[in-house]
Homo-oligomer: A and B are copies of this chain.
Amino acid sequence: MSPSPSPTTGPPSTALFTDQYELTMLQAALADGTADRPCVFEVFARKLPAGRRYGVVAGTGRLLPAVEAFRFGETELQRLTGILDTRTIDFLADYHFDGDIEGYPEGELYFPGSPVLTVTGTFAAVVLETLVLSILNHDCAIASAAARMASVADDRPLIEMGSRRTHEEAAVAAARSAYLAGFATTSNLEAGRRFGIPTAGTAAHAFTLLHDDEAAAFAAQVASLGVGTTLLVDTYDITEGIATAIRVAGPELGAIRIDSGDLGVLARSARRQLDSLGATGTRIVLSGDLDEFAIAALRAEPVDVYGVGTSVVTGSGAPTAGMVYKLTEVDGRPVEKRSAHKVSHGGHKRAIRRYRPTGTATEEVVHRVGAGTVAPVPEEHDREITVPLVRGGVALPQPTLAESRDHLRAAMVSLPWEGLKLSQGDPALRTTLLGGADPHGAER
């Protein structure tokens, strides 16, 4: 299930979460002396998923320890024998990333061309490409979808319950991204253990089917878990299920869950029925193929909690953020690919965001740094977006997950109002490269 332990006592090595060509390129660069050239690599997205108006940076908190655990031990090197020459294997045996990383903090918004992460080192830092992209592409995709759901759910809590619809380790990371993006809880126990995310759960149809009848199942659940529990009422007939639930648990029942059918109609009729039974405080949890559009469609209904599964862990139609890791500077000079379809703009870059006095963001300005570059003329409400993440190979202290969650909440409020619309549209903010075209010929 997991990678081999690293040679030193410590977390498992992440060094083989790597595409082979990164190591063979390194071999060729070691042989011709170019591997030592100072290089800058940049992570960015050329575009957002179709119609999306913003992306959410997530995964930084997983990435930094993973970069520190990127060490080649005996197990990893053994695999590379026969693929790489001795010189490269010896180099990797001693390799750890000792350069700098800066980027957008976790919970920040990004747009096409935003320099989300910048890695400064030698060409050897090419070996981090796959690990960096795997973590950011996955976690940003989930957080970007989850933020839309949290935005339309407004103050109604969302439970992330999609673990079963994605790879078992991806599920843990997805729970983390969803929480970062505003979900209240997750069903995933490992996410609770590893990241301290609050966990929650209701009950499954199997529990009702196990029992001789629905009343017996409800009675057993209430007896063991208390009257505050959530009873799943749609195994047989929902109206009878609700009646049985309140008869067994009394009007103090915590919640009912409905997992099938026309959820809006059912929520209204369940609310009326619960109220008529005196269970005015019993909450209604809805689940069953909810996505941001279904959640929005239920805004007028008496729903108290949404349970979201498949759509959040699969990025709601956009399971990867499509970020790339590109070499943008060698020996202090900008480099860029020049073929027609994938234009990139070289140079080490940072970003500031500009705001109106009201706090509404107006523009993201990307600017080059280093010799011969010009800084943007400061305006009163500028904010530096790029922050240091790793210095000399050592990860700097980062915000907690809860702080990143707050950061995102504030950033969402700063978006121009049309940026929060669910409908297809352009990115909510313009990203411009100072003294140049759009960064990376971003598609907007």
Chain A contact residues, CB within 8 Å of chain B: 1-4, 11-12, 14, 16-25, 27-29, 31-32, 34, 37, 39, 41, 62, 65-66, 69, 75-76, 79-80, 83, 85, 123, 126, 129-131, 133-135, 137-138, 161, 163-173, 187-190, 192-194, 199-207, 209-211, 216, 219-221, 223-225, 234-238, 260-261, 310, 313-315, 319-320, 322, 325-327, 330, 335-342
Q: CB distance B164 to A167 under 8 Å? A: no
In addition to A2-B12, A20-B199, A23-B201, 4 A-B residue pairs with Cβ atoms within 8 Å of each other are A4-B193, A20-B188, A167-B167, A206-B327
- CB-CB under 8 A from A320, the residues of chain B are 165-166, 310, 313-314
In the complex, the answer to whether B187 meets A21 with C-beta atoms within 8 Å is yes
Asked if B322 and A28 make an inter-chain contact with CB atoms under 8 angstroms apart, the answer reads no
In contact, A209 and B164 (Cβ under 8 angstroms) = no
| Interchain nearest-CB distance for A235 vs B (Å) | 5
Q: Is the CB of B200 within 8 A of A20?
A: yes
Given A163-B19, A163-B130: A79 in contact with B193 (beta carbons within 8 A): yes
Q: Please name all residues of chain B whose beta carbon is closer than 8 Å to the beta carbon of A235 when the two chains form the complex.
A: 337-339
List B contacts of A85 (CB < 8 A).
224
Knowing A21-B201, A28-B220, A341-B261, the reply to whether A169 touches B166 (Cβ < 8 A) is no
How distant is the Cα of A172 from the Cα of B342 in the complex, in angstroms? 28
Select one of B32, B138, B200, B211 contacting A166, CB under 8 A. Answer: B138
A314 to B85 alpha-carbon distance, docked (Å): 34
Q: State the number of copies, please.
A: 2
Contact B165 A170 (CB under 8 A): no
Inside 8 A of A34's CB, which chain B residues have their CB? Answer: 210-211, 220
A340 vs B313: C-alpha distance when bound (angstroms): 27
Q: Which residues of B contact A216 (CB under 8 A)?
A: 32
In contact, B310 and A322 (Cβ under 8 angstroms): yes
Asked if B210 and A123 make an inter-chain contact with CB atoms under 8 angstroms apart, the answer reads: yes
Cβ B165 vs Cβ A209 within 8 A: no
Distance A326 CA – B204 CA, assembled complex (angstroms):
9
The distance from the CB of A92 to the nearest CB of chain B, in whole angstroms, is 11
| CB pairs A–B below 8 angstroms (22 shown) | A1-B62, A1-B69, A2-B3, A17-B171, A19-B161, A19-B201, A21-B187, A29-B220, A31-B220, A37-B210, A126-B206, A129-B164, A134-B165, A164-B325, A165-B320, A166-B170, A166-B319, A167-B167, A205-B337, A237-B338, A238-B339, A261-B341
Cα–Cα distance between A194 and B165 once the two chains are bound (Å) = 23
Quick one: which of B32, B65, B209 contacts A1, CB cutoff 8 A? Answer: B65
Instruction: Contacts A12-B2, A20-B199, A204-B25 given; indicate if A137 touches B161 (C-beta within 8 A).
Output: no
Cβ A134 vs Cβ B19 within 8 A = no
Would B20 and A11 count as touching, CB distance under 8 A? no
What are the residues of chain B within 8 A of A205 when measuring CB–CB? 326-327, 337
* Cα separation A161 to B12 with both chains bound (whole Å): 23
Residues of chain B within 8 A (CB-CB) of A165 are 133-134, 137, 320, 322
* CB <8 Å contact, A206 and B326: yes
Contact status B260-A29, CB under 8 Å: no
Could you tell me the distance between the alpha carbons of A79 and B199 in the complex, rounded to whole angstroms?
A: 11
